[in-house]
Structure 1
Amino acid sequence: MARALNFVMFFLVILFFALTVENHQANATGTEAPAPQPQSSNNHTMNGITEGSLQPQECGPRCTTRCSNTQYKKPCLFFCQKCCAKCLCVPPGTYGNKQFCPCYNNWKTKRGGPKCP
């Protein structure tokens, strides 16, 4: 019984601190978290291709090109196609150039690393 009570008390203390930190962060900025904004029409352009201008059927060839120099082709193609389906954009070249597709560049994993190759 005492062990269960200790566990409940520990959980409540952790919850209290989590809420306190969250409130402190919201007060420090003076506002709540900003509402998600719709994608702006200020899309990046390169070689006549605008971010978000691809059709879903164009993702396969673009991702094949993007992943052509990696030794991890299967996972590269999987994540590239997933990112392309969401963003309708694949950066040019086989590496880098992500500034031309901000959606593709800004999608992160749970750990904060890049989701898209």
Structure 2
Amino acid sequence: MAISKTLFSSFLICLVTLHFVESDTTMVINNNMVENPSPSPLPPTIDCDAACNGRCQLSSRPNLCNRACGSCCERCNCVPSGTSGNYEECLCYANITTHGGRHKCP
């Protein structure tokens, strides 16, 4: 009988301790959420038409180039400078590929 009372009291102590630990963790999570209520500011959008016209000005197929560049610009909000290359300036633009695995963005 003494063993069952000891077992029951230690089980009860564990439950109470677990309850306090869980409520303390919830308070920490709620405090962190309150400390940072404002979202981060959005980056300014660029004029994709002008950027893609500059990028595609020397292309042999300017309409196709402008269409591909425009869709990439809308996704990434950037276009690398120059008429080709410079992909390191806009990694998102460089990482978009076609179904065949080739660069989609000119």
Deviation at 1:103, TM superposition (A): 0.3
Could you list the structure 1 runs, at least 4 aligned residues long, displaced by more than 6 angstroms after superposition.
none
Indicate yes or no: 2:55 matched with 1:55: no
Cα separation, 2, equivalents of 1:102 and 1:72: 24
Structure 2 portions without partners, runs of 5+: 1-41
Task: Please give the TM-score of this superposition, normalised by the length of structure 2.
Answer: 0.58
Equivalent residue of 1:77, what SS?
helix
> Larger radius of gyration, structure 1 or 2?
2
What's the counterpart of residue 70 of structure 1? 59
Going from structure 1 to structure 2, the CA distance change for 1:54 and 1:74 (only over 3 Å counts) comes to: farther
Q: Does 1:80 align with 2:66?
A: no
Number of matched pairs: 65
Distance in 2, matches of 1:67 and 1:54, equals 23
* Gaps in structure 1 of 5+ consecutive residues: 1-51
Summarize the Cα distance change of 1:71–1:53 in structure 2 as closer, same or farther, 3 Å threshold. Answer: farther
Looking at secondary structure, tell me which structure has more helix per residue: 2
Indicate the RMSD between aligned Cα atoms, in angstroms: 1.6
CA distance in 2 between counterparts of 1:116 and 1:83 reads: 6
**TM-score scaled by structure 1?**
0.53
Query: What residue is the counterpart of 1:102 in the other structure?
Result: 91
The CA deviation string for residues 6-62 of structure 1, in whole angstroms up to 9 with x for no partner, is: xxxxxxxxxxxxxxxxxxxxxxxxxxxxxxxxxxxxxxxxxxxxxx94515x00000
